[in-house]
Amino acid sequence: MTNPILAAGAVLWRRSAEVEIAVVHRPRYRDWTLPKGKLDEGESLYAAAVREVAEETGFRCALGRSLGHVSYAVDGVPKTVDYFAARVVDGEFTANDEVDRLRWLTLPAAAERLTYDHDRSVLAGFAETGPETATVLLVRHGHAGRRDRWPGPDDERPLSKTGRGEAKALAHLIPLFAPDRVHSAPKARCVQTVRRVAEQLNVDVRLEATLLESADRTDAVDRLREIVGDGGTAVVCSQGGVIPDLVSDLAKDSSVDVGEVRSRKGSLWLLSFAGDTMIGALYIRQA
């Protein structure tokens, strides 16, 4: 049996007088489409989306919210493409072997230019709330060994070798979303999980006592909403006894179906907001 094709892409956007979307022309297929491409071996959806945007358009981008996926067959082989909103950071288009033309178009014009209905459905999902959304990358700290084997105070229990590997992997993943600040519950294992990201951004880790398991649940939700209200993209690291309640409460308030709220160590939730309303939640578990 042939393995399904996995791919990732983006609705690449910029704001000029109004929001403009990049659509690309592929001479091989004689079509106009959204930038996308197959995952390399061992590559994540998120890294593939950023790489494919760069390769096809010449632009470096910052990922935003998940726009879901589309599935169709290519020569009888099933193919699934996961899409994300992606803001232009910098770059310049140069024609290449895959793409010979790029057009920046308004949302209505882009929908009219696109060749495929499945691309138009992705664009329609993007257009529902537009690009100006806030993002929270809600991280559970990495592995820190067994509590009963740590001789010191639990607040000071550090990441284990496995946890340090998870923190390193997060430091590769999280920058794809171009965060601008880092928050953490004041536990050593939480701070260590996101310290490398903070160093990459050249910012301090802001300590958040309301995100501890011992804190009040309502206070934790209120504080997260304050972080959302600051706009942009924030990294927030907390504990396994906090994250499921936070995600569940935000989802309930916003009528977003998140299914089973998982929170594996070293994983994160990509939470997207329009104003103070959560409009999307994607669980990202690293291998």
Question: Domain check: are 125 and 138 in the same one?
Answer: no
For residue 2, name the pLDDT band (cuts at 50, 70, 90).
confident
Q: At what angle do helices 161-173 and 188-201 cross, to 10 degrees?
A: 30
Nearest to 53 by CA among 119, 98, 110, 113: 98
Give the global pTM. Answer: 0.96
| Amino acid residing at 213 | E
Full residue range of the structural domain in which residue 106 is found: 5-129
Residue 186's domain is classified under what CATH number?
A: 3.40.50.1240
pLDDT in tens, 206-252: 999 999 999 999 999 999 999 999 999 999 999 999 999 999 999 99
Query: Strand pairing of 205-207 and 181-184?
Result: parallel
Out of 114, 129, 144, a domain closes at 129
Residue written as tokens 């924030």?
234
Residue 44's domain is classified under what CATH number?
A: 3.90.79.10
Residue written as tokens 């996961």?
82
Q: Structurally, how many domains does the chain consist of?
A: 2
For residue 28, name the pLDDT band (cuts at 50, 70, 90).
very high
Mean pLDDT of the chain: 96
Confidence at residue 74, expressed as pLDDT on a 0 to 100 scale: 87
Out of 98, 129, 160, a domain closes at 129
For residue 274, name the pLDDT band (cuts at 50, 70, 90).
very high
